[in-house]
Structure 1
Amino acid sequence: MKRRNRGRYHDRRTIEEKQVLAGKGLELAWAADPVDVFFLEIQGSGRLIFDDGTQAFVNYAGQNGHKYKSSGRIMREKGLLKEGHIFEQREWFKNNPDRVREILNENPSYVFFRYGNRGPTGAMGHVVDDWLSLATDRKYIPLGAVVAYGVNAPDPDFGTIPLRGIGFAQDVGGAIKRNRIDIFCGGGERANYVASHLDAHGPAWVLVAR
C-alpha cells in the first residue's frame, strides 16, 4: 500500500466490511486474531511470528487520514467496560468474538504496514529501545526530547513497582494526545503484561540545556 498522508482514504468499516482492498495483492500476512492486528496498528510497528517459527518485522507505512477513536472509549460509551484498559478489552473480545468487528469498526482510522529489515521503529526512523523510547504528542513534547519520568508500573510478580528513568521521545501515535506518554516495554510475556496493564499518572519533565 502506498503511503497516504494527504486527504482521506476508505475508513475501517469500508475496508473490512466491503473488502475494497481484496484481490489487489496488498496483504503482508494473515493473522488468526483481528484484535492482535488492531493493537498492532496502535503500536505502529511490530514483529510477526509465523507457524513455522520464522519472524518478520513490519513498520508503519501510512494511515487512511481518518481520526483515531480509542476502542476503550468506544466500549466505555457502550457500557461494556468501566475503564477500558487493554487487558480488559482483550478479555471482553475473547468472551464476545461475535462482536469484535462491530466494536473495532467504530474506529475509522486504519494503519498500513510495510516489511522492515529491523524494528520496531519509531517516528524518527530509529529502532526503539526497551524502557527508553517514549511516544509523545509532538505538540507538547517534540521528537528527540529527553524526558525524565516516574510512575508506578504494574508487575506480574509484585503487583506494582516504582519505575523511574530517563527516556527519549522517539515516536508518536493516534492515541497519544496532550500529556499522555507511552513507554516502549519491549517484547516477551512480562513486557506484554506491563504494556497491557500500565495506565497510571506520574510526573514527567522535559530536560533542556541551560
Structure 2
Amino acid sequence: MMMQNMMMRGMMMRGMMMRFKPLSWHGFVLTCLMGVGFCVFLSGCGFFKGPEEPSQLPLIKVAPRNYPQFFDSRSFEGLARSIDQSLIYFKRVPLSRKYAYEKDIFDAGHMIRTLERFQALLAENLSPVELNARIKEEFLVFKSPGSDTGEVLFTGYYEPTYKGSLEQDDTYVYPVYSTPMDLVQIDLSLFSDEYKGHKRLRARLNPDTRRVVPYYSRAQINNLPDFLNRAEPVAWLESRVDRFFLEIQGSGRVNLEQGGQLRIHYAGSNGNAYRSVGRYLIEKNEIAREDMSMQAIRKWLENNPHRMDEVLHYNESFVFFKTEEGGPYGSINVEITPLRSIATDQRLFPNGALCFAQAALPDPDFLEPLEQWEKTSLFVLNQDTGGAIKGPGRADLFCGNGPYAEFTAGHMNTRGQLYFLVLKP
C-alpha cells in the first residue's frame, strides 16, 4: 500500500509538472514580492513560523508586594511533565535565542535555568506560604495587561475523537486532507532583511497567468471536484461537522472502521483568514451570545443542513493534517499537557514560558453551567497558538481528551489574569 501511494504521488506530481508552465526563479521572486494580499491563519500548530525575534511585549512587571497568591488548584498534577516539554523546546533552539519580558531580555539558557529552578522548588514539597515566599525571593513576575477591561479571556480547546475510515465508502464520505502538493510556502525573509520575522505565506502558482496567488479558500476547496488529486486524504469521516471541528481543534483521534485508532495532527493551512462561525451566528441572531458554545454550533448546523455552506464557508481558512504517533503537539512542536498548556498570541508572549493563570473550571464530577464554575488558579506553560488567539487579552487552555475535556473546551469563556514568571538574573 505504501509503495502504491508513493507511485500514485509520483504520477500525480509528474502530471502537475506537465500541466503547469515553468516560471523562472527571477520571475517567481518578483511575483512573490509584488504586494499580493495574504491573511495568515494561525492554528493549533504553527510549523510555518519564522525565526523568533525579541520584540516589545505588552507585559507589565509586577512589584513583589503585588504578586498574586500562587496556589495550584490541581496540586501540580501534570505540571512536571509540561515543564519537561518546554525544556525539550528550549534545549532544541540556539541558547542565544532571545525572549522579551517587557524591557528585560533573556536568552534560551536563562529560560532553561528558570524551569529547572522551578522544578527544584516543586521537588521540595513546599507549603503554599513557603512557595510564595520563594517565588518572591527568586522570580520576577510579569502580568499581561489583558483587554480593555484589564482581564484575559480564557477559552478552551481539546483533542476530539471521531469515527472514521482509511477508505471512502457510502458512510465515510468527507476527506481529511493532507497538505496539497500545489501549496507553496513563501519565506520572504530569504530575499530581504526587510521581511525578517514575517510569517511565511501560503500560496499557489496560477498556471494560466504564471502568477503566485492566494491558495484556495474553504469554499473553493469544497467545490473543486479534483482536489483529491492535489491532497491525498489521511482519513475519511462520516460527518462534515466533525471535520470542521477537527480543523478548529487542530488535532484529533479517529476510531477506524478497520480497527485501531489513528492520531492526526495539524500539518498546515491554506493561509486564508480565520473567521469565527460562532460570531457569525451571533450576528445573524441564530444563537444568543449567552448561549454560544461549541455544542450549540454543532446542534445548529445539524438542524440546518441547508445552510451549512453559508456558515462553514464564512471561515475561509482550511486546515490540512498528517498522521503521527503521540501528541497532540503545540506550535513549538512539543506535546501539550491537559490543563497545563496554553495557547497565546506568539507575536506578543515568549514561547515555552512558565505562566500562572487565574480563571475558572468546572468540577470534574459535576459538569455545571458556566456561571457555576469555581475559580481556579494553575501554573501553565505557553506552548501553543491559535487562529482566534490574538492580542494580550486572549488565552486558550488545552483541556485534553474525553467527555470532561469536550464539555470544558466547548463552554469555557471565563475572564481572569495571566502572569509570566522568570528567574531573577
Report if TM-score (shorter chain) is over 0.5: yes
Determine if contact 1:151/1:200 at 8 Å carries over to the other structure.
yes
Matched residue pairs, number? 210
* Cross-structure match for 1:114: 322
Runs of 5+ in structure 1 lacking a partner?
none
Distance 1:158 1:23, change over 3 A: closer
* Cross-structure match for 1:151: 359
Determine if contact 1:43/1:173 at 8 Å carries over to the other structure.
no
User: TM-score, normalized by length of structure 1?
Assistant: 0.92
Determine if contact 1:46/1:119 at 8 Å carries over to the other structure.
no
* Cross-structure match for 1:167: 380
Instruction: Give per-residue Cα distances to partners, 1:34-68, cap 9 Å, x unaligned.
Output: 22211221222222222344111111111111110
Please give the alpha-carbon distance, in whole angstroms, between the structure 1 residues aligned to 2:362 and 2:286.
Answer: 23
Following superposition, which runs of at least 4 residues in structure 1 exceed 3 angstroms of deviation? 2-5
* Cross-structure match for 2:285: 79
Please give the alpha-carbon distance, in whole angstroms, between the structure 1 residues aligned to 2:423 and 2:406.
Answer: 35
What displacement does 1:144 show?
0.8
Instruction: Give per-residue Cα distances to partners, 1:137-176, cap 9 Å, x unaligned.
Output: 1122221111101112234715223321011111111111
Distance 1:13 1:25, change over 3 A: closer
173, 192, 195: which one aligns with 2:406: 192
> How much identity, in percent, do the aligned residues show?
35
1:68 aligned to 2:281?
no
Where 2:221 maps in the other structure, the secondary structure is helix
Q: Which amino acid is the alignment partner of residue 311 of structure 2?
A: I
Please give the alpha-carbon distance, in whole angstroms, between the structure 2 residues aligned to 1:151 and 1:11.
Answer: 36
Runs of 5+ in structure 2 lacking a partner?
1-178, 186-199, 204-213
Please give the alpha-carbon distance, in whole angstroms, between the structure 1 residues aligned to 2:226 and 2:287.
Answer: 32
Please give the alpha-carbon distance, in whole angstroms, between the structure 2 residues aligned to 1:16 and 1:158.
Answer: 37
What displacement does 1:100 show?
2.0
Structure label with greater radius of gyration: 2
Where 1:200 maps in the other structure, the secondary structure is strand
Instruction: Give per-residue Cα distances to partners, 1:97-136, cap 9 Å, x unaligned.
Output: 2222321111111111111122111111111111111111
331, 346, 350: which one aligns with 1:123: 331
Q: CA RMSD in A?
A: 1.8
Determine if contact 1:48/1:56 at 8 Å carries over to the other structure.
yes
Please give the alpha-carbon distance, in whole angstroms, between the structure 2 residues aligned to 1:90 and 1:129.
Answer: 26
Q: How does 1:29-68 map to 2 (within 5 A)?
A: 29-68=235-274
RCO (CA 8 Å, sep 6+): is it higher in 1 or 2? 2
Where 1:109 maps in the other structure, the secondary structure is coil
Q: Which amino acid is the alignment partner of residue 108 of structure 1?
A: E
Please give the alpha-carbon distance, in whole angstroms, between the structure 2 residues aligned to 1:154 and 1:41.
Answer: 25
What displacement does 1:76 show?
1.5
User: TM-score, normalized by length of structure 2?
Assistant: 0.47
Larger mean Cα displacement after TM superposition, 156-165 or 28-37: 156-165
Please give the alpha-carbon distance, in whole angstroms, between the structure 1 residues aligned to 2:374 and 2:227.
Answer: 45
Please give the alpha-carbon distance, in whole angstroms, between the structure 1 residues aligned to 2:231 and 2:318.
Answer: 18
